[in-house]
Structure 1
Amino acid sequence: MANINWYFIFNVVVISCGAIPKDYDEGGFSASVGLSSFKNDFNLNTSHWKGNESGLANRKANIPSFGVLGATFGSVIAVALDDYFGRLKSFRFFMVLWMAGMLMQIFSSGIYGLMLFARIWGGLGARGLTVASPLFLSEIAKACSRGLIVSIYMVVLLSFLTVGFFINYGANKHLPSARVQYRLVQSIALIATGFALICSFFVTDSPRWLASKDREDEAIAALSRLRKSDLSSADVALEVAVIQEQLSERRQKIVAIKSYRKRFMLALLMQIVAQWSGGMTFTYAGVDGGDQSLITSGAYGIVKLVFTTVFAWGLVDYFGRRRSMLTGIGIRNKSASDAAIASIFIYVVGWSIGLCTVQYLYGTEIFPTRIRGVCYAVNMAVHWFFQFAVVRVTPNLFRALNIWSAFLFWACICFVFLGLFAPETKKVSMEKMDKLLDCPWYMGWKAKVNL
């Protein structure tokens, strides 16, 4: 127990809580929209919209989708904040932004316009955190455990997503259909995020960001605390020296260096393909509304949580990114999701070990420090844009291609592009990524670098 680095663990746990706003929005808040108390307060009952069904459909769609609208802008804002103010201050800023938006949502009390404004406001914060948190985690981790550390973000995300469904189920069963019902459901996440915000004042900022701002003494001090080593430690000095060497050698713009362009396109492709992999089509795979909705969605979330945790602890740093990703894509097939409700969980196992985490991991580890924040923030903006696009066009795609053809289409995209382009990055230090990617794009699958 004496060798356990509790301070490093504390940093990882606190920063991983940046996943809570996104996942609780997709689990707790999204499910609370279906509670009778929420429907009564925001006039979402079908009986009030007879003859104007399209008006009701638009109202139902706007409340959740406005959060995604804020998401894209939140990622863009993160471009400026993460590099200028630092990873830690950005984390606090976006956390406060989301908490303010959530409080507005909770107390909007049936005022539809205020709810939409609050959804955009909260979306800015929640999705800004999807940039700040994984970026922070990747920069404080060692190369040998970076996959595990960044994957913890997804474990926290899926934990609260799953909890959100069951909190809704409990509120629906045991609380009266009044405002307190949905307010309680939506406010639960504020407890955990508030605690994380307070704890963040005891967290060390990213040594790589500090070094990029020529704050070498602070970078060494931060790294020594994170590595549980003396300031004079040879390992700490070597790690800082490698970081500084990369910073001094790379001062050109992204577009001016072939390696930078290639990394940017790889991370961008990963985010696009992850959205076009069928992972957002749970409803079409066999679970849609009815009495089974909350329980089945909660069980679906548990399976995602379990296998993402297994992936984080046993696969991503041992078997590597490519092998896990391609195995997951292979498991996720249309016949599995067609067979029965139970078979849907085979489908989600593939998602958990394939593209659930790897898309975040690639985006945070392949860029040099100076441009990591900008590139990853742009990647996440594209992530949210394509997530909105996929949700919007999926029904039409299924009608045009038939469901099995659509899944085959997604599988081909994943295998062709990612199978050729994506290199194996496990145990490769961030400072050696340029050597790993120094090959034609179609030979990425064969790329190697001496560790």
Structure 2
Amino acid sequence: MFDINPYYVFTVLVVACGGIPKGYDEGGFSASIGLKSFQNDFDLNASHWKNNASGLANRKANITSFGVLGAAFGSILALALADRLGRLRCWQFFVALWASGILMQLFSSGILGFMLFARIWGGLGAGGLTVVAPLYLSEVAPAKSRGMIVSFFINYAASVTMSVTATQYRLVQAIPLIPVGIAFIGSLFLNDTPRWLASKDRSDEALIVLARLRGAREKQDHQLSSEYQEIQEQIIAKQQSLANVPIWTIIKEIATISTYRERFLLAIFMQTVAQWSGGNGITYYIPQIFEYAGVTGGNTSLITSGAYGIVKLVFTMIFTWGLIDIFGRRRCMLTGIGLQCITHVYMAIYMSIFVSTENKSASDAAIASVFIYAVGWSIGLCTVQYLYGTEIFPTRIRSVCYAANMAVHWFFQFAVVRVTPNMFVSFDVWGAYVFWALICFIGFVILGVWAPETKGIPMERMEELFAGRWWMGWRAKVDLTETPSGGKIQDQRNEKEFTTDIERF
């Protein structure tokens, strides 16, 4: 094992800051629209919309969701640019894109159209970073890394210490420019990943960078040489697998080879349930959710929202960084969906019966259920579907499937964030919780029978795990004591057979 060195730590910290834009958009910006100063500038005061609740919901939803819409296209753009520009230059490009969007957002000065354009523009950068930053980290780290930041408390500080002027919300929204700007300056001292450099036939440079990351003093270091040789072999294998293969051929393989199709549809279904089960709808409007649950006072709501963010952060870190490999993917996912469903059911009952009765016990239980929901979301569909997406696909189709998964993720997240305020108006809040509860119940049943346990299964043997009927996935197992008879061999056979069929056609 290589010793961790300052350059490696510096690299990880700099690149991981690429997660701040998305995390802050869900936390800091989403809460900032609740500040009185922002509401005054963009006409979001409820008193101005007494006879048009839907109009107010539409305006709030557009401002919040357009950043997510931009992120959807940004993630697709990143997949097109990452190999061409390199991981580092692509990271810097998307940071600049996001920062310029934030600056436009800060000085939109109540102009709704300009704010919406700035949200989409900045969203392009935030979405691109969600693809490039993990890609960079996965190529420089011996083990996977993950990070998350949620910042409701900044909004609270601004709300109690600053006057209700445009400067108040501008400061709140500008805060993430500081760490990301510092990270951008730091990136000027970094190199691109050894894997990307090697893929561009820059072998000497790749080896030097790898030695720098691992703290190896000499390029002849045995462990360094072994890791570099493994990188070269993986690149050669990927190039051979994808040589002269048009993307439409890969798409046809996914559609016509049953095992590819099943895995692809499973990953898409997981993303669908994750987005429509209420996770991001609640996160983006969490101050409003706590007010519905009985938390009174704007500042108190922000404090509670900050606590909600901490609960999400802690449980996501605990399960992502260890327990998910102890309990398994299935158990974490189903437990999480189950907790989501139960809390949705209670909130639906509370919103339909107790919300106007001033029943403190019912209100306290509603507040507690929101935090329980955060735990369920964090240990389940906040993370598991991404892990499945990196494990179950063979190299040949992985990039295409990953692109499709991220596109579904972002477009559905945009849809959820966009319609949630309208759902609260049209369905009287409790109806929204009924909808989310139904999605969780359906997801629990279908994923319970479909999704196999992938913990500890080598990627080259995933074919065996998906060899049976899809509804028997809950029983699927791979005997790791036996020599693989399917797995990679079968995947390669499928690839060759389909390629031959295409050529004949």
> Smaller-chain TM-score range?
0.7 to 0.9
Q: CA deviation at 1:97?
A: 0.5
Q: CA deviation at 1:399?
A: 7.0
* Contact kept in structure 2, 1:95 and 1:193, CA below 8 Å: yes
Q: 2:371 matched to 1:345?
A: yes
Which structure 2 residues correspond to residues 46-125 of structure 1 after superposition, within 5 A? 46-49=46-49, 54-125=54-125
Partner of 1:332: 340
- Distance in 2 (CA, whole Å) between partners of 1:331 and 1:177 is 39
Which structure 2 residues correspond to residues 424-443 of structure 1 after superposition, within 5 A? 424-426=453-455, 432=460, 435=463, 439-440=467-468, 442=470
Q: 2:186 matched to 1:199?
A: yes
Alignment gaps of 5+ in structure 1: none
Partner of 2:353: none
TM-score when normalising by structure 2: 0.76
- Distance in 2 (CA, whole Å) between partners of 1:449 and 1:9 is 38
* Contact kept in structure 1, 2:198 and 2:232, CA below 8 Å: no
- Distance in 2 (CA, whole Å) between partners of 1:318 and 1:334 is 24
Q: Deviations over 1:171-196 (max 9, x none)?
A: 11110111211111111100011112
Partner of 1:240: 231
Q: 2:201 matched to 1:173?
A: no
Closer/same/farther in 2, CA of residues 179 and 402 from structure 1, 3 Å limit: closer
Mean alpha-carbon deviation: is it higher for 286-295 or for 106-115?
286-295
* Contact kept in structure 2, 1:397 and 1:406, CA below 8 Å: no
Q: CA deviation at 1:297?
A: 1.2
Closer/same/farther in 2, CA of residues 436 and 191 from structure 1, 3 Å limit: farther
* Contact kept in structure 2, 1:304 and 1:352, CA below 8 Å: yes
State the SS of the aligned residue for 2:34.
coil
Q: Deviations over 1:108-139 (max 9, x none)?
A: 22222211111111111111212222233333
* Contact kept in structure 2, 1:366 and 1:433, CA below 8 Å: no
Closer/same/farther in 2, CA of residues 401 and 106 from structure 1, 3 Å limit: closer
- Distance in 2 (CA, whole Å) between partners of 1:261 and 1:219 is 36
Mean alpha-carbon deviation: is it higher for 39-48 or for 270-279?
39-48
Alignment gaps of 5+ in structure 2: 348-364, 482-505
Q: 2:258 matched to 1:250?
A: no
Q: CA deviation at 1:243?
A: 0.9
- Distance in 1 (CA, whole Å) between partners of 2:261 and 2:65 is 32
Q: 2:290 matched to 1:287?
A: yes
State the SS of the aligned residue for 1:7.
helix
Q: CA deviation at 1:241?
A: 4.5
* Contact kept in structure 2, 1:209 and 1:369, CA below 8 Å: no
Q: 2:174 matched to 1:183?
A: no
* Contact kept in structure 2, 1:22 and 1:126, CA below 8 Å: yes
Q: Deviations over 1:354-375 (max 9, x none)?
A: 1112233333455566765544
State the SS of the aligned residue for 1:244.
helix
Q: CA deviation at 1:202?
A: 3.3
Partner of 1:381: 407
Closer/same/farther in 2, CA of residues 402 and 112 from structure 1, 3 Å limit: closer
Closer/same/farther in 2, CA of residues 237 and 16 from structure 1, 3 Å limit: closer
- Distance in 2 (CA, whole Å) between partners of 1:344 and 1:12 is 33
Partner AA of 1:287 in structure 2: F
State the SS of the aligned residue for 1:194.
helix
Closer/same/farther in 2, CA of residues 9 and 410 from structure 1, 3 Å limit: farther
Mean alpha-carbon deviation: is it higher for 262-271 or for 348-357?
262-271
* Contact kept in structure 1, 2:54 and 2:425, CA below 8 Å: no
- Distance in 1 (CA, whole Å) between partners of 2:44 and 2:428 is 28
State the SS of the aligned residue for 1:332.
helix
Closer/same/farther in 2, CA of residues 277 and 47 from structure 1, 3 Å limit: closer
TM-score when normalising by structure 1: 0.84
- Distance in 1 (CA, whole Å) between partners of 2:270 and 2:109 is 40
- Distance in 2 (CA, whole Å) between partners of 1:139 and 1:426 is 22
Q: Output the aligned Cα RMSD.
A: 3.4
